[in-house]
Chains A and B, each alone.
Chain A
Amino acid sequence: MYEFNYRKAASLDEAKDLFSKGEDAKYMSGGMTLLPTLKQRLARPSDVIDLAAVPDMSGIAVTGDTVSIKARTPHAVVAANAEVKKAIPALAKLAGGIGDPMVRNRGTIGGSLANNDPAADYPAAIVGLGATIHTDRRTIAGDDFFQGLFETALEEDELIIQVDFPIPDKAGYMKFPNPASRYCIVGVMVSSKGGNVRVGVTGAGACAFRVKEMEDALKANFAAEAVEKISIPDGDLNSDIHASAEYRAHLVTVMAKRAVAEANG
């Protein structure tokens, strides 16, 4: 790691103030992506602003139709939460499959979303469940949040406060992990709520996206067979030594099919 100044913010305002004063500051939530990046000397922030001491940033609330998760809630807490498991089991499953147990004990939903790694799990849930992201200054629709490779709708100093997931009638999440890193080669979240269907895909492209053709087919018939013949174009998909774009496109179909089957229980 290059040298940086560690700053511990006691409030949101202080965090933003420290951010504005830093030449090239970075917020740190769980640090599970930031620190590996720094260790490999791939980034060189002037200041690292730790959000750990900002009060009221962690916790889960489940109301009649919404699961609300505060930004600094660790993945393991989401995965183990009985109410989440009951309301959106696919979300608990997704959180329980991120990284490994130690990563889940420290990594947070807000940190994951703000970083927007193309192979992260949570983005599939954001678009696949139609979540809403509350920041320190506004509300962003999940569909508008991810804007490209490591790019989000967040302004430079903007902080995620909470994520609201509408509770679907049913949902399913299937992930095909990279054998080495365990990140997503492809992850698909499907959900159905009052006749609306969402298919959110992560890992396959530059950032999470929805598959309209599958959603339309599932609206007509929410069954695995409805999507098994739908293939998505591979032109814009990621390609690396672990999976070609063509293989990723294929896996989107397979994972979507399996996610629907899971949703149907």
Chain B
Amino acid sequence: MADGGIGAAITRKEDRRFLAGRGTYTDDINRPGQVYAAIVRSPHAHARVKSVDVSQALAFPGAVAAFTGADMAADGVGGLPCGWGITQIDGSPMAEPPHPVLQAERVRHVGDPIAVVLAETRNGARDAAEKVAVEYEVLDPVIDTARADADGAPRVHDEARNNICFDWQIGDAGPVDAAFAKADKVATLNLINTRMATCAMEPRAAVAEYESGTGHYTLYTSSQNPHVIRLLLGAFVLNIPEHKLRVVSPDVGGGFGSKIFHYAEEAIVTWAAAKVGRPVKWTAERAESFVSDAQGRDHVSKAELAMDGDGRFLALRVSTHANLGAYLSSFAPLVPTYLYATLLAGQYATPAIHATVRAVFTNTVPVDALRGAGRPEATYLIERLVDEAASVAGLDPAEIRRRNLVPPDAFPYQTPVALAYDSGNYAETLDAALKDGDYAGFETRRADAKARGKLRGIGLAAYIEACGAAPSAIAGQLGARAGLYESAEVRFHPTGTVTVFTGSQSQGQGHETTFAQLITERLGVPVENVEVIHGDTDRIPFGMGTYGSRSLAVGGSAIARATDKIVAKGKKIAAHILEASEDDIEFSAGTFSVAGTDRTLSIGEVAGAAYVPHNYPLDELEPGLDESAFYDPANFTFPAGCQLCEVEIDPETGTVEVVDFTAIDDFGRIVNPMIVDGQVHGGIAHGIGQALFENCVYDGASGQLLTGSLNDYCMPRADNLPSFRTDTRETLCPHNPLGVKGCGEAGTIGGAAAVMNAVADALKPLGIGHIDMPASPYHVWQAIHQSRNKTA
């Protein structure tokens, strides 16, 4: 290992500025002459807009301008596009209703934007926005995921009959039905995967400016993928050619999916900046985030597992209703299909699987990817079902898992639901979790808790995820309207320092450190001599951004490819200077040498020669040492692992406390163990958050979001969580140059399932079966109370 290279737990390069308060988040950016935008949003879940009158707002002191959907339509502004199309079971395309930036005719969720008011101050913009008079004809909303497709339900879009966006399936129903027919035992579970608000701590913000002299636009936006925003905003919404539009994502204060998508506010400020000839700034208040950031999950499913007499899985049948909210967010159709149902095999060698997904529109905030995106939904379903199966089969939950795992010698393993798992050793992570979490000693701890009046439970989750969605050609066949590669440029400077330009976009993952470590490892340049640049479409090559735990596997691999090109060119330069044959040049730890001799040249000297080409093979080689690569992976990567959670429940109040949590993960090769550990911690907290605390609750009658602030939407806090026990195992990804898999979502993907299995285990002695998330004190008490009433 190079000093500071792969495997080194070095501290992060970006931390000094963050710790000193010198980070630059979007709201920290102010442009000369800027005005502030306030968005007028619908207070109703579903209504016809009869009239919008901005005259009083315009008359308000300090107001600069006010615009409505009609104004945008008059300028030919397009709707917000969707980046993934689904082909339905019958071969027809999904329903794809328009998604105007500002609504002029109908509003479809609380928070749906109607108008924008610009003013000289932030407070003034809000004051003036309140003066916009909107006349509504309130309509009945449809809210409930499972009943959105009922006959007679209010219709969200004229284009979607029975509110169905698509009916989709994967796997083969025939073998599944046959397996169920001959099964010895069947486990069945109806479960709800709750809706989550992402709640990145930095609320979204956008600042745009327009230079009339050049026709150039610049948009600063808190985004996970500035090039994707540039493409969607430029090509589909505002018709700005890409060379006239620069999108900058400066420091981003957490994303977790919610900052992947192209939002109305980005289009509004960019368009308005040209209209008024002044920079326009918008920053969400948290209350606005709750009704305008895409939310996540929201499935209602039925799952059935057929087993033989030994508890071996024969077939899995799943049917899911997925709530997409009021409009198609940028990648919404992808999440409950190819990121969800393709993972339903889990870690198990179930020979036959069939899943149907009905995606529905409702009068709620749009739903899209949220940390894990589909994979936590799949894992929750499988892992809860497997525990139920253990119960039905009379087997220990660890034992039934062990019997059904894909064995380590079966890779590559083709699942019945499209994916081909590339590598893994699931028994190893299971065994390690059981050992580190002292599974064998649990009953003693349960008895001890009982003596203290507490119900203790233990829960396993053996998860698998698919990261770094790929390859682009297959994704295109499945409906992707974009590529899924990543880009990198490795630029040596004449004195031997390096700038890396990456298409990946950190929102806290530490790319500035991890990617520098790749350069250290592969080129021998010290970490402190490497700068990583991301987040500016005028500086970086066309990049797809950061989501789906793809940055190291795809973006890192692109950097690796670029370093290979650097080494290849460096060898030619070194061969010339060292007067040797190129074939005899070796490269290691930053030094080119002639094999079998002591003649060497450092990579810094090679860089110097490339930029000051006095002794240089100019007839066959261009000067400079600056290489780019685009990397399009051959397959997903498949991180996997096992989590073991213990909870204690206070039966009098229903309070669930997570008292122990073990996570053993296989992420392939690990570049910075400290950063990986941090990603796992945060992921687990996110999973525990969904299991015990977080839930978006809409009033069924009015469609109001009842959890529209942090006073009601319960974010996990430090005193809600334990410290975590984490460790890793390593099977390398065989198809990317780094052998890496991805770690950003793993904790979340298994977390909720492990906690809820533990909760179910704790409540089992009371005769309580499955309960849905969140296992809040109130919900758990209700379950206990009802079971006591039943037995009383």
Q: Which residues of B contact A (CB under 8 A)?
A: 123, 126-127, 130, 287, 652-653, 693, 697, 706-707, 710-715, 720, 776-778, 781-782, 785
Q: Are A251 and B653 in contact (CB under 8 A)?
A: yes
Given contact pairs A241-B707, A250-B785, a sample of 15 additional A-B residue pairs in the complex whose CB atoms are under 8 Å apart: A3-B127, A41-B126, A176-B777, A178-B711, A180-B693, A180-B715, A181-B710, A181-B711, A183-B711, A241-B697, A242-B712, A247-B782, A251-B653, A254-B652, A254-B653
Q: Are B693 and A179 in contact (CB under 8 A)?
A: yes
Of the candidates B693, B697, B714, B785, the one having the most CB atoms from chain A within 10 angstroms of its own CB is B714
A243 within 8 A of B: yes
CA–CA, A2 and B60, complex, Å: 13
A61 within 8 A of B: no
Query: Cβ of A40: which chain B residues have Cβ within 8 Å of it?
Result: 287
Q: Are B712 and A250 in contact (CB under 8 A)?
A: no
A244 within 8 A of B: yes
CA–CA, A41 and B43, complex, Å: 15
A161-189: CB near B (< 8 Å → 1, else 0) gives 00000000000000010111101000000
Q: Are A179 and B711 in contact (CB under 8 A)?
A: no
Q: Are A244 and B713 in contact (CB under 8 A)?
A: no
A257: min CB distance to chain B, Å:
8
Query: Cβ of B782: which chain A residues have Cβ within 8 Å of it?
Result: 247
* Interface set, chain A 1-39, CB cutoff 8 A to B: 1-3
CA–CA, A247 and B785, complex, Å: 9
Known pairs A241-B707, A247-B778, A247-B782; A181 contacts B127 (CB<8 A): no
Q: Are B127 and A241 in contact (CB under 8 A)?
A: no
Q: Are A242 and B123 in contact (CB under 8 A)?
A: no
CA–CA, A241 and B707, complex, Å: 9
CA–CA, A177 and B177, complex, Å: 49
Q: Are B714 and A179 in contact (CB under 8 A)?
A: yes
Q: Are A180 and B710 in contact (CB under 8 A)?
A: yes
B104: min CB distance to chain A, Å:
26
The 23 listed contacts between A and B (C-beta, < 8 Å) are: A41-B130, A178-B711, A179-B693, A179-B714, A179-B776, A179-B777, A180-B693, A180-B710, A180-B711, A180-B712, A180-B713, A180-B714, A180-B715, A241-B697, A241-B712, A242-B778, A243-B778, A244-B778, A247-B778, A250-B781, A251-B653, A254-B652, A254-B653
Q: Is the interface of A mostly helix, strand, loop or mixed?
A: loop
Query: Cβ of A41: which chain B residues have Cβ within 8 Å of it?
Result: 126, 130
B721: min CB distance to chain A, Å:
13
CA–CA, A250 and B123, complex, Å: 44
CA–CA, A2 and B126, complex, Å: 9
A224: min CB distance to chain B, Å:
12
CA–CA, A176 and B777, complex, Å: 10
A98: min CB distance to chain B, Å:
15
Query: Cβ of B712: which chain A residues have Cβ within 8 Å of it?
Result: 180-181, 241-242
CA–CA, A40 and B709, complex, Å: 11
Which A-chain residue is minimally distant from B652 (CB atoms)? A254
Closest 7 CB pairs of A and B: A180-B714, A181-B711, A179-B714, A254-B652, A243-B778, A241-B697, A180-B712
Q: Are B711 and A1 in contact (CB under 8 A)?
A: no
Query: Cβ of A181: which chain B residues have Cβ within 8 Å of it?
Result: 710-712
Which B-chain residue is minimally distant from A36 (CB atoms)? B711
CA–CA, A181 and B782, complex, Å: 21
Which A-chain residue is minimally distant from B650 (CB atoms)? A254
A40: min CB distance to chain B, Å:
7
Q: Are A2 and B127 in contact (CB under 8 A)?
A: yes
Known pairs A179-B714, A181-B711; A1 contacts B123 (CB<8 A): yes
Query: Cβ of A1: which chain B residues have Cβ within 8 Å of it?
Result: 123
CA–CA, A105 and B364, complex, Å: 39
Q: Are A241 and B706 in contact (CB under 8 A)?
A: yes
Q: Are A176 and B653 in contact (CB under 8 A)?
A: yes
Of the candidates A176, A179, A254, the one having the most CB atoms from chain B within 10 angstroms of its own CB is A179
Query: Cβ of A251: which chain B residues have Cβ within 8 Å of it?
Result: 653
CA–CA, A60 and B712, complex, Å: 34
Q: Which of B287, B710, B781 contacts A247 (CB 8 A)?
A: B781
Query: Cβ of B652: which chain A residues have Cβ within 8 Å of it?
Result: 254
Query: Cβ of B127: which chain A residues have Cβ within 8 Å of it?
Result: 2-3
CA–CA, A178 and B777, complex, Å: 9
Q: Are B781 and A242 in contact (CB under 8 A)?
A: no
CA–CA, A243 and B712, complex, Å: 12
B770: min CB distance to chain A, Å:
21
Query: Cβ of B711: which chain A residues have Cβ within 8 Å of it?
Result: 178, 180-181, 183
A232: min CB distance to chain B, Å:
16
Which B-chain residue is minimally distant from A254 (CB atoms)? B652
CA–CA, A134 and B126, complex, Å: 40
A227: min CB distance to chain B, Å:
13
Query: Cβ of B710: which chain A residues have Cβ within 8 Å of it?
Result: 180-181
CA–CA, A242 and B654, complex, Å: 12
CA–CA, A112 and B204, complex, Å: 33
Which A-chain residue is minimally distant from B712 (CB atoms)? A180
A23: min CB distance to chain B, Å:
18
A261: min CB distance to chain B, Å:
12
Query: Cβ of A176: which chain B residues have Cβ within 8 Å of it?
Result: 653, 777
CA–CA, A12 and B123, complex, Å: 31
A221-265: CB near B (< 8 Å → 1, else 0) gives 000000000000000000001111001001100100000000000
Query: Cβ of A254: which chain B residues have Cβ within 8 Å of it?
Result: 652-653
Which A-chain residue is minimally distant from B699 (CB atoms)? A241
Query: Cβ of B287: which chain A residues have Cβ within 8 Å of it?
Result: 40
Query: Cβ of A3: which chain B residues have Cβ within 8 Å of it?
Result: 123, 127
Known pairs A40-B287, A181-B712; A242 contacts B653 (CB<8 A): no
Query: Cβ of B126: which chain A residues have Cβ within 8 Å of it?
Result: 41
CA–CA, A40 and B711, complex, Å: 12
Query: Cβ of B130: which chain A residues have Cβ within 8 Å of it?
Result: 41
CA–CA, A251 and B777, complex, Å: 11
Which B-chain residue is minimally distant from A179 (CB atoms)? B714
Query: Cβ of B697: which chain A residues have Cβ within 8 Å of it?
Result: 241
CA–CA, A3 and B126, complex, Å: 11
